[in-house]
Chains A and B, each alone.
Chain A
Amino acid sequence: MLALDAVTYRYAGARRAALREVSLELRDGEVLGIVGASEAGKTTLALVASGLAPRAIGGTLRGRLLLDGDDVAALPMHEVAAQVGIGFQNPATQLSGVTESVFEEVAFGPMNLGVPRDDVIARTWDALTALRVETLAERDPARLSGGQQQLVAIAGLLALRPRHLVLDEPTAQLDPAGTRLVAEALARLAADGASICVVEQKTDLLAGLANRIAVIDAGRIAFEGPAAEVLADPRIADLGITPPAPVRLARAAAAAALPAEPAARLADAIQGVIA
């Protein structure tokens, strides 16, 4: 289990803390969604949960990041990276920029960790296959579409075989086709038992993917709970978060005094289409 225990984090030079007293758990095999308005602290939460803050970007952290109950503060970044993978919004910046093929790109992480050559090859094929992008193996990573690059970046994380995956708005810069590719891949990973923390503005995506959702506001966890309950909670709209389409539709139907049953069926149908 990956856990944040009363974490307060302040960026170097900042006057205010970006995260305040945040306690959160990512249980094994669970998909946890993090939603919040812009500047609420979502990306900071992802950086802290992956161990990159404060190691790689400086700043001050109070509280603990725990992996299976052990504080990881003393571990070097490469050891944390072997257990917690992090993906960012921009697919292009996640690629190493030095590889000539997707295969080498995905293998980059395990190669860095000194994993034996045969294992690197096996892990790379496994990661490519898990995301169904093995046909891209020979392609130049720089010549892929945004969606394909994001999948390659996630495959690169999977090849590290981390027990936990933290993804910061993995579909933010993708078109609908790219978003669908990533969403399908994450759903497959989740079905295979991966534990994933997804920071995401697109609540429609989370509605079909997350088991649990935590809402962050001004650096604090405002509330959390089962995905369906949180996304249907009227408070999320007050915090600047757009509810998923079926929730909006149900509310609109209720406001127009339409019969509840057909509206619910239509909402289910819409969710099916989105998913």
Chain B
Amino acid sequence: MTGGSPWHRLNPLTKLVVATATAVGAVVLGGIAGPVLLVAAAVLLPAAIAGVLGQLVRLSLLLSLPIAISAVLINVFFFPGGQTVLLHLGPITATAEGLAFALEILVRILAISGAITLFYLTTRPAELVVDLERRGVSPRVAFVANASVQTVPAMVERAGQITAAQRARGLDTEGSLARRLRGIVPIVGPVILGAIGEVEERTMALEARGFTRPGRRTLLWWPADSGAQRLARWLIALAVPLLVLGRAAGWLEWLP
């Protein structure tokens, strides 16, 4: 997440707009060539500039593979109206039409996961939250968004501590699947109950630090922005409805 590349230095809202437009654009464009070109230009090229290409490929594949595999299998073997038979596997049949549609779905899934992963790899959550707050988003909304992200590592750490404590008391969390599943309950319970138990004191501590004061908070810093980025954001944001319009009007039929 830390890095000094030109892509890292972009305003987080710019990166968010690019990620959103890429995901929406890939869905709207349809076909294969359009989303592939979009991914190359808006995901792979920036990832290479940011020096996170390897990480991006690994993470986005991890993120999308479970959905992608099930989507491909369902469409290849159960595509309604598929005529061109590729192979028979017992009672089910793979069709060319199903395969083509599965590839379209696969490209869209990869485009969406790639766009999200690139944003995640090159943007600190705090930067985005501060930037949104500077633009008038309620401090409470910003806090909830930031706390949600920051809570994950804390919960993971707490789960690690509780796992170690439970194992020290004889809990078996290794071995067969059934044994592992049995080991989850004594860990998840204390993690969740502990977190809930802290909520009241945490809420009071926030109250005691003036969090409920109405109005805007003072910000110590905020991410840099520029006129060029503002213009780019508007152009990208305008391109998305144009793409939807173009798709609806049939102007994009030439794309394979």
Report the minimal beta-carbon distance from B128 to chain A, rounded to whole angstroms. 12
In the bound complex, do residue A156 and residue B209 qualify as a contact, i.e. CB atoms below 8 Å apart? yes
In the bound complex, do residue B216 and residue A114 qualify as a contact, i.e. CB atoms below 8 Å apart? yes
A160 to B206, CA, bound (A): 12
Q: A77 contacts which chain B residues (CB < 8 A)?
A: 207-208, 210, 212
A13 to B143, CA, bound (A): 31
Report the minimal beta-carbon distance from B209 to chain A, rounded to whole angstroms. 4
Return 12 A-B CB contacts under 8 Å, by A number.
A56-B204, A97-B151, A100-B126, A107-B220, A112-B209, A112-B217, A114-B215, A120-B218, A142-B154, A157-B208, A157-B209, A160-B209
Known A-B contacts A111-B220, A120-B218, A160-B210; A97 and B126 likewise in contact (beta carbons under 8 Å): no
Q: Does B224 contact A (CB under 8 A)?
A: no
Partner of A82, one of B124, B210, B216: B210
Partner of B209, one of A81, A90, A117: A81
Specify which of B139, B151, B198, B212 lies most central, judged by the most chain A CB atoms within 10 Å of its CB. Answer: B212
From residue 2 to 32 of chain B, which have CB atoms closer than 8 A to chain A?
A: none
Spell out A's residues near B (CB within 8 Å). Answer: 47, 50, 52, 55-57, 76-78, 81-82, 85-86, 88, 90, 92-100, 104, 107-117, 120-121, 142, 153, 156-157, 160
Known A-B contacts A96-B209, A113-B210; A90 and B154 likewise in contact (beta carbons under 8 Å): no
Known A-B contacts A77-B207, A81-B207, A116-B218; A57 and B200 likewise in contact (beta carbons under 8 Å): yes
Q: Does B135 contact A (CB under 8 A)?
A: no
Interface size on B, residues (CB 8 A): 32
Q: B217 contacts which chain A residues (CB < 8 A)?
A: 111-112, 114
Report the minimal beta-carbon distance from B216 to chain A, rounded to whole angstroms. 7
Known A-B contacts A111-B219, A112-B211; A98 and B126 likewise in contact (beta carbons under 8 Å): yes
**B146 to A, closest residue via Cβ:** A98
A115 to B213, CA, bound (A): 12
19 further interface pairs, Cβ-Cβ under 8 Å (given A77-B207, A81-B207, A98-B126) = A47-B204, A55-B207, A56-B204, A77-B210, A78-B210, A82-B210, A86-B208, A88-B205, A94-B201, A94-B202, A94-B205, A107-B220, A108-B209, A110-B218, A113-B210, A113-B218, A117-B218, A120-B220, A157-B209
In the bound complex, do residue B209 and residue A109 qualify as a contact, i.e. CB atoms below 8 Å apart? yes
In the bound complex, do residue A78 and residue B213 qualify as a contact, i.e. CB atoms below 8 Å apart? yes
Q: Does B147 contact A (CB under 8 A)?
A: yes
A81 to B213, CA, bound (A): 10
Report the minimal beta-carbon distance from B199 to chain A, rounded to whole angstroms. 9
A206 to B143, CA, bound (A): 37
**A120 to B, closest residue via Cβ:** B218
**A98 to B, closest residue via Cβ:** B146
Report the minimal beta-carbon distance from A139 to chain B, rounded to whole angstroms. 15
Q: B218 contacts which chain A residues (CB < 8 A)?
A: 110-111, 113-117, 120
